[in-house]
Amino acid sequence: MANCYTCWPEGCEAVKENRRYYVGDYGEIKGETEMMQEIYSYGPIVALIGCPEDFHTWNSTEVYQDKTGDKRPAHYITIVGWGQTPAGKKYWIVMNSWGTAWNAPEGGFAKVARGIDNLGIESQGSVWGNLLP
């Protein structure tokens, strides 16, 4: 069996214990409401996003909002939920494939602005799939 790695922009390290999962079913969805309904009903979804340079080095508990307008499909992330700050700023809770070293304050997770198609997250098509062990 091949090694599985957790990676971030600076490098990778082997995962000591990995599990295999398979996709049982899948589909494509777009838009904030559809995405929220899918996550609520079936769990996390994968989204294709733009990936500007400051996203690579994001290291904050604040809500990430791209200022460059980059929506070029370049990177996949997993959306695991959503929320809203006390000030009313809506966000997606995303898990990055670069591992826990990325955005260390959140352990590889981040809050990404929701409802404004930030990074193209709501318009490029999200994929959901039922994972089977």
Residue 47 lies in a domain: yes
Q: What is the CATH number for 128?
A: 3.90.70.10
Residue 87 lies in a domain: yes
Neighbouring CB atoms inside 10 A of 45's CB total: 23
Average of per-residue pLDDT across 48-73: 95
Residue 94 lies in a domain: yes
Query: Residue 81 — pLDDT band, cuts 50, 70, 90?
Result: very high
Residue 96 belongs to domain spanning:
20-132
Question: What pTM value is reported for the model?
Answer: 0.80
Residue 100 lies in a domain: yes
Q: Are 99 and 8 in contact (CB under 8 A)?
A: yes
pLDDT value, residue 133:
58
Q: Please give the helix or strand (H or E) that residue 58 lies within, else none.
A: none
pLDDT value, residue 128:
63
Total domains present in the chain? 1
pLDDT tens sequence across 54-64? 999 999 999 99
Most confident of 10-14, 40-44, 70-74: 70-74
Listed in sequence order, the residues at least 6 apart from 89 whose beta carbon sits closer than 8 Å to its beta carbon are 63, 113
